Structure 1
Amino acid sequence: MPQETDKKEKTMAIIAYMTIVGLIIAFITNREKRVPLTSYHIRQSAGLAVTGLILSVVNIIPILGWIIAILGSFLLLYMWIAGLMNAMNAKQKPIPLLGEKYAKWFKGL
């Protein structure tokens, strides 16, 4: 039975990284029974979503904004892959660069 529970927790942590819809599904599913692994990856994924939103706003600025948005998008992709790999390995390891900040900023999730 514990392996099945661990598998469910790991699956929900992975789903948290699957677009904003996956983040919402993981958040709603994790609301009643707060599973530490899933909660951690929900916070990390929420941080990535907010970072992506900020990059979208920066993209409005001509030339410099475009450059920042393109470079930021590659960095965001790198962080997303790192977070997804951590979830697949059931690790509560912060994603590179901003992971520790995301854990602090979104500790209420």
Structure 2
Amino acid sequence: MDQKTIDEGKSAAITSYILIVGVLIAISMNSENKNSFASFHIRQGLGLTLTFITLGVSISYFESIMIAAPMWIFISVLTIYGIFTAAKGETIPLPLLGKWYQKWFSNF
């Protein structure tokens, strides 16, 4: 991937890691001119958002901070990791689920 592609897609890539709303904004930013760098990070951000929602709904039934805190830490660490890799111009999948996100959301 060349530097021009990375520079053009960097703002959409970083925006995609803002949970829930950021993914929608990044998808609309990338809808006209498809940028491969932005698309990679949009897939990662979408997967992270869906993981956040799924874990949040599942964990909400327990109503315990001892169960919810690790989920928040896990999601926060992955979000920060994603933002930093996008800002550096790298296409490294998120740890644990990143490769799956690329397969599952390959149409974005």
> Which region of structure 1 is more displaced relative to structure 2, 43-52 or 65-74?
65-74
Tell me, in whole angstroms, the C-alpha distance in 1 between the residues paired with 2:34 and 2:54.
28
Tell me, in whole angstroms, the C-alpha distance in 2 between the residues paired with 1:66 and 1:43.
30
Unaligned runs of 5+ in 2: none
TM-score (norm 2): 0.85
SS in 2 for 1:59: helix
> Which region of structure 1 is more displaced relative to structure 2, 65-74 or 92-101?
65-74
TM-score (norm 1): 0.84
Tell me if 1:82 matches 2:94. Answer: no
Tell me, in whole angstroms, the C-alpha distance in 2 between the residues paired with 1:5 and 1:62.
45
Residue of structure 2 equivalent to 1:43: 43
Shift of 1:26: 1.0
User: Does the CA contact (< 8 Å) of 2:8 and 2:35 recur in 1?
Assistant: no
Tell me, in whole angstroms, the C-alpha distance in 2 between the residues paired with 1:6 and 1:105.
23
Equivalent pairs counted in the alignment come to 107
Unaligned runs of 5+ in 1: none
Shift of 1:66: 5.4
User: Does the CA contact (< 8 Å) of 1:55 and 1:69 recur in 2?
Assistant: no
Q: Which amino acid aligns with 2:72?
A: S
1:49-70 per-residue CA deviation (whole Å, 9 max, x = no partner) reads 001101111123326x754432
Q: Which amino acid aligns with 1:107?
A: S
